[in-house]
Homo-oligomer: A and B are copies of this chain.
């Protein structure tokens, strides 16, 4: 449920009512937290704020947020420590905020189980962008059925008529994206941003080629016309 909600949310804000993803913000600086709470709410997240590590940890259990934004310099607990303890029991994405921008800190954080890292000062939009990346990465694991096609995010498998398609990682990501919102048209740019992320393949017709390959594999399994081409824009799956 979270899964779908988030996978879908990127483009869907305007069209349907859906549960807002809940962000837990653990930050002791009152000014920053107030500002961020506003910005995040604005970006259509529901925000829970805690100003110390202990109550932050409690909130993780009690509220089960979809994502955690964690300040490194908390009065009681070390950010890394919090990350480690969250990781003991859950895979909730964690984004760390910090004043320092050195490599060691970054590595230490990621080793502790953080998923991303943002050095102050930063723009709220950047944080929001990274939040969305993490949400998509983690919660694109829903099981989605579209006609005879079945997309299982947790297993990273796609079936047509109970026959598995052997998709490469990129192919799977692409299918998974399109299937997040059956019927919705994804532009090439949107697809590249979501599937390729920071790797940016700025040139060429990669998307088209991959779509072609996916179609071919679908055809081999007996599926036709699942992926619709929208001339001038991009692609969509039938919905």
Residues of A within 8 A of B (CB): 2-3, 6, 34-35, 38-39, 42-43, 54, 58, 61-62, 84-85, 87-89, 91, 111, 113, 123, 125, 154-156, 168-169, 183-185, 190, 193, 198, 200, 202, 230-233, 236
Contacts of A35 in B (CB 8 A): 54, 58
**A contact face: mostly helix, strand, loop, or mixed:** helix
Known: A88-B2, A89-B6. A230 touches B193 (CB 8 A): no
Nearest-CB residue, chain B, relative to A35: B58
What is the bound-complex CA distance between A113 and B200, given in angstroms? 11
Known: A6-B89, A61-B42, A168-B231. A154 touches B111 (CB 8 A): no
Nearest-CB residue, chain B, relative to A125: B88
Task: State whether B193 touches A87 (Cβ < 8 A).
Answer: yes
Task: State whether A231 touches B169 (Cβ < 8 A).
Answer: yes
Nearest-CB residue, chain B, relative to A231: B169
What is the bound-complex CA distance between A111 and B236, given in angstroms? 22
What is the bound-complex CA distance between A123 and B38, given in angstroms? 34
Q: List 21 A-B contacts (CB under 8 A).
A: A3-B89, A6-B89, A34-B58, A35-B54, A35-B58, A38-B58, A42-B61, A42-B89, A84-B198, A85-B125, A87-B193, A88-B125, A111-B202, A154-B184, A154-B185, A155-B183, A156-B185, A156-B230, A168-B231, A169-B231, A169-B232
Contacts of A183 in B (CB 8 A): 154-155
Beyond A155-B236, A168-B231, 11 extra complex contacts between A and B, CB < 8 Å = A3-B89, A6-B88, A35-B54, A39-B61, A42-B61, A42-B89, A85-B125, A113-B193, A155-B183, A155-B185, A156-B233
What is the bound-complex CA distance between A154 and B233, given in angstroms? 11
Task: State whether A184 touches B202 (Cβ < 8 A).
Answer: no
